[in-house]
A and B are shown apart, each in its own frame.
Chain A
Amino acid sequence: MTAVTTKLDTFLDREYEAGFVTDVESDTIPKGLSEDTIRLISARKNEPGFMLEWRLQAYRRWLTMTEPAWAQVHYPRIDFQDIAYYSAPKTKTDGPKSLDEVDPELLRTYEKLGVPLHERARLAGVAVDAVFDSVSVATTFKKQLGEHGIVFCSFSEAVKEHPELVQKYLGSVVPQGDNFYAALNSAVFSDGSFVYIPKGVKCPMELSTYFRINARDTGQFERTLIVADEGASVSYLEGCTAPMRDENQLHAAVVELVAMDDAHIKYSTVQNWYPGDKDGKGGIYNFVTKRGDCRGARSRISWTQVETGSAITWKYPSVILRGDDSVGEFHSVALSNHRQQADTGTKMIHIGRNTRSTILSKGISAGHGSNTYRGLVRITPKAVGARNYTQCDSLLIGDKCAAHTFPTVEVRHPSAQVEHEATTSRIGEDQLFYAMQRGLTAEDAVSMIVSGFCREVFKELPMEFAVEAQNLLGVSLEGSIG
């Protein structure tokens, strides 16, 4: 097995390409967390009073809470006083009004990351909100989207321009005290994206947010809120990267989705935060709460995630199936290599009648990586005719990694149909040799096998993202599409 393991190691040892640092002057508040910190953040952002009150409420809740310890992840205690909670690149004006006012250094950063913000170079058909450390630096295609009545802007802007929408929906899916990290986020979140799709509107282009952590010793706490009103639909993409640093950095985000009657939200993530080095030094702690509320009848929410980065991933994009006949979906590929740890999965809470959910989870462990699927399927007493199908597959590469599966099923109505399938496989020496005997290299063979393993999830990704996911996993897209 040694020769094969060496071949696999070469295949898996990819450089982290987004690991550079942008040299910009930052306005970073001192480290530490108190009510004053929160007042300071709120003041920096010129927020209305209701926002500050909401933050302070969350902070007071947070003080009473303890860090969760149930996840299958191990890391030293986080000192929450040793983090700077707000860092923004300095601008001359009070936030750029157009792309011309954005620091060219920032534009170059996004260009290097493959997310050009300039009109001429933009990806056709994708509008981008670019978040750099704690603030949104640019949002593209705002005007065109505005013509359809669609609101797509930074969260800070939404608080000022659409306070009634923010007040109505903020915290309505993930309440302030939902969990330790959600409470922390509610207290200190600095920016993020806001989307509102009005009744009956199908969003004409993909919307996306690109998150970038740059500053040292800071945490990123962004908040995304997407509301699709009756009959509306939107496909939203999220990407993330960070420089290579020896210290761990905290990223504690909250994403809330609301789908009214007949609305459809598709949320896709390609997460490529810095994973730390081979020995587990550095990397992002990605502690994220993502939840969708199928509030209306026949609404549908799909989460698709490709998790390749972060030192630790702790995230469970979930769907509350409140509306009758609503549909929740979760498709996930999580890779943990070297010393990475991923504890991820989903919760499907069936409340409405004839609600349906599908869970498709693919975990890949390599090196010393540890990959855990943790899921909950709950059929409440009112959920007549609810159905769930769950499939959890684990792929092991090499013999030092680990895979765990913790599925929980709670059924409180006899009409429920719940199915669960799980497999674990290992890329074997026999498979590699078989492929090599047909003229393929070991790298091609691994890439082919990994890609075959992920294919059902990749099929769910929008094209641009499927290409990115392919690059990140080093797998061939052709193989995954067949």
Chain B
Amino acid sequence: MLNIHDLHASVDGKQILRGLTLEVKSGEVHAIMGPNGSGKSTLAQVLAGRDSFQVDSGTVTWDGRDLLALPAEERAREGLFLAFQYPVEIPGVSNAYFLKSAVNAVRRHRGLPELDAMDFLKRVKAEMKAVGMREEFLYRSVNEGFSGGEKKRNEILQMVLLEPRLAVLDETDSGLDIDALRIVADGVNRLRSPDRSMIVITHYQRLLDYIVPDKVHVLSQGRIVRSGGPELALELEQRGYAWTADAPKAGQGASPATAGAARGGAAR
């Protein structure tokens, strides 16, 4: 179980999260929605432990442990997975080698035997088929020259292989066509299980047609301002974010975490 209490965080001295409180029980899927600049990506990066995001106050406990005290790689090994909004390219490092190193780092940590090349390839090829990736992507450099959709599938592939206990998907649906969206959603749905929690961050309701969340939260100005069931997402889709309390004023800048995600507002 993940318990976030009164979390304040900032980037480059600019306060982004302002008292965020959220509880995600084992087996639950929570959707977090909100306009640009509301702090969605900051929440994802803070949970994953990125150095450049500073936690000013508040607590995050994960299965009774202080999550914030763990370095990023330790969180990952303990089973926290972040699907990146902008997956990073690593030229010269083959996807196969990267994936195998990651899988084995996690397996070592969990006291499992490392997978050898044969076992790993068997496993990864099966999973690639499921997310609709051709085998050649194994031998290409990590994310290098991948299209937007290919990068997102590669994130889902990594998530499936690493079998996290807590998966955070940061706008994984952005820039995907409907087929890719289905594949991503299918990957997520296959992973749903009583001992796995997921936080799905999204800007649009669209993804939630395929991933039906247990809870939906609206984030605004660094705080959760509304919580409800799946019906809340539909309401947002119809009415836009403007009707939610504390909605950001027009013209407010995007946070650095989401800068570059220049898109129109959700209000339509």
Contacts and interface: CB of A to CB of B under 8 A. Distances in A.
Nearest to B92: A452
A442 B141 CA distance: 19
Contacts of A438: 76, 98, 101-102, 105-106, 158, 162
Contacts of A440: 73, 101-102, 105
Nearest to B86: A430
Contacts of B96: 482
A455 B82 contact: no
A430 B88 contact: yes
Contacts of B88: 428, 430-431, 433-434
Given A437-B82, A438-B162, A482 B106 contact: no
Nearest to A3: B51
A5 to B, nearest CB: 11
- By size class, the interface of chain B is 20 to 34
A9 to B, nearest CB: 15
Interface in A408-458: 425, 428-431, 433-442, 444, 448-449, 451-453, 455
A478 B116 CA distance: 12
A32 interface: no
B265 interface: no
Contact of B92 (A429, A435, A449): A449
Contact of B48 (A437, A451, A452): A437
Interface string B81-120: 1101001111111101110011001100100000000000
A441 B97 contact: no
A440 B49 CA distance: 13
Interface in A254-283: none
Given A429-B52, A482-B139, A455 B92 contact: yes
B113 to A, nearest CB: 16
B141 A439 contact: no
A4 interface: yes
Contact of B97 (A4, A433, A448, A453): A448
Given A439-B76, A439-B105, 12 more contacts: A430-B88, A431-B88, A431-B89, A436-B49, A437-B73, A444-B101, A448-B90, A452-B141, A453-B91, A478-B97, A479-B94, A479-B101
Q: Which 7 A-B residue pairings sit nearest by Cβ, starting from the closest?
A: A452-B92, A438-B102, A452-B93, A439-B105, A434-B88, A439-B76, A3-B51
Interface of B: 48-52, 71-73, 76-77, 81-82, 84, 87-94, 96-98, 101-102, 105-106, 109, 139, 141, 158, 162
19 contacts: A429-B52, A431-B88, A433-B48, A433-B72, A434-B84, A434-B87, A434-B90, A436-B76, A437-B72, A437-B73, A437-B81, A437-B84, A438-B76, A438-B102, A440-B73, A441-B73, A448-B93, A452-B94, A482-B96
